[in-house]
Amino acid sequence: MKVAILTMFSGLSTTYSLVNVVADQIKVLLDANVSVKVLVCETCPDSERTGIFSDARLEWVKITNTLNGQPIVWHDYSGASGTVHETFFAEADAIAKDFTVHLQDVDVCILHDILYQGWHLVHNIAIRKAQQQLPHVRFLAFTHSLPVNRPQEMEYPFSARFTDMPRTKFIYPTYSGISALDKQYDVPEGKCAVVYNTLPLVPSMSTPVQAVADVIDLMHADVLAVYPARLTTGKKFEKVAALAGAIKHATEKNTKVIFCDFPSADISSKVYQAIIRTEGKKYGLSDADMLFTSEIGYPDGFPRQSVFELFTLSNLFICPSYSESFGLTVLEAASRGNSLVLNEAVPALKELGDKLGAYFMRWDARNFGFDTHEKYAPSEKAYYEEHGRRIVNLMREDRSLNAKTLVRSQYSDAWICKNQLMPLLNIE
């Protein structure tokens, strides 16, 4: 499969939102091992090719913007009738010739605003001319602005902005615009589709977070818990794993846990990690649901700024710690909009949790002058699963938290690529 992305960009400044949309699209296609060719205006400076636009896997093609040695000036033909400038059709023919040559080897051509914008009318006419010589190429025509009301009377070539094109699907970023889009081009809704704009959260984050994302699926977890702490038994890592496993088992939610750990003299890291994994699996997690950052190149601790970034992605913070004098990580997790589950038996956690609206459970704890030991009836597993269901229900009812989770999971580049873009390319 080879895909062309036709933008006719004359510059690549990221202040132009469409540049960012196209950059995200290029990245997901390359990540899916799709061959990508990008068609831009011949005046687009090579010096502006940074980031994904400079990727060695891209085929970069410049389409002519001159006629008889003179630069082609794009006129904004937004009306439905009128008179085009004298050299319009000669310019369209020259551009069409370039399109025909450079689209011969592609299966699908993605157009971004080419059929929509008035200043791209010359390219609109050119691609329609080229299409006649490209019977094997399918087209996806993206519109990134409010669809235009279809006029009752139109004249050629202005009518091209309101006319169907063979072998073409018309794409809009939201379902609410589909009925207006089909009216603009006078096509049935079946010729239209939705592809969201992506919010590439992980690519905008630090290298350590990207390293985590390479190992564990951050974006699709319904419940994502992050627990940064020294790898000592007093922090009760195994209870975090157990509760997360119970949540997964009781609610069938896709649940992941990231332990941002660093070594302790209390116990061998390898021994304690094995205990934690065993507890997690006993209650419902798989090995793939748990990650220790010490195992992916950060044996002495995960960078604090990167922990904050992980808290931006996560939605649940579980702290069953045996003892705390304050609980700074509680504040860090809360500051990034996580649901809090704290050990009620620890005074510092109870004090913070009362102020922050945390959900409380009970684990063994060291108190002022005495220790507490919990007994669970009918079993610890039943206790975790009962509270796990309550926690998930509370998370579901929290609109802000629900929005945060949906943004991460359903507006990620991976989700959009798999569920919206790839089916249009006929790639499973």
Residue type for position 302: F
Q: What is each CA distance from 386 to 239, 247, 317, 391, in whole angstroms? A: 15, 9, 18, 9
Whole-angstrom Cα distance, residue 427 to residue 32?
10
Whole-angstrom Cα distance, residue 317 to residue 9?
44
10-residue mean pLDDT profile of the chain (428 residues): values are: 96 92 95 96 96 97 97 95 96 98 98 97 98 97 96 96 97 97 96 94 94 95 98 98 98 98 96 98 98 97 98 98 96 98 97 97 93 96 98 97 94 91 86
Which tokens go with 300?
Answer: 């002495």
DSSP 276-294: HHHHHHHHT--GGGEEEGG
Other Cβ atoms within 10 Å of 405 Cβ, number: 23
Q: What is the DSSP code (8-state) at residue 388? A: H
Whole-angstrom Cα distance, residue 136 to residue 165?
14
Residues 424/31, Cβ–Cβ less than 8 Å: no
Task: Give the residue among 206, 203, 213, 211 at the shortest CA–CA distance from 25.
Answer: 203
pTM: 0.86
Predicted confidence at residue 154, as pLDDT, reads: 95
Q: What is each CA distance from 334 to 291, 307, 314, 337, in whole angstroms? A: 22, 13, 11, 5
Whole-angstrom Cα distance, residue 350 to residue 371?
15
- How many angstroms from the chain centroid is the CA of residue 152? 40
Predicted confidence at residue 428, as pLDDT, reads: 53
Predicted confidence at residue 413, as pLDDT, reads: 87
| Burial class of residue 127 (count of CB atoms within 10 Å of its CB; 0-12, 13-18, 19+) | buried
Tokens 């021994």 belong to which residue? Answer: 271
Helices (H), 132-260: 178-185, 207-215, 237-251
Which tokens go with 297?
Answer: 């190149």
CA 352-357-360 angle, to 5 degrees, is 75
Predicted confidence at residue 45, as pLDDT, reads: 97
Predicted confidence at residue 10, as pLDDT, reads: 96
Give all strands (DSSP E) within 192-241, no chain letters. 192-194, 223-230
Whole-angstrom Cα distance, residue 83 to residue 64?
23
Whole-angstrom Cα distance, residue 353 to residue 162?
58
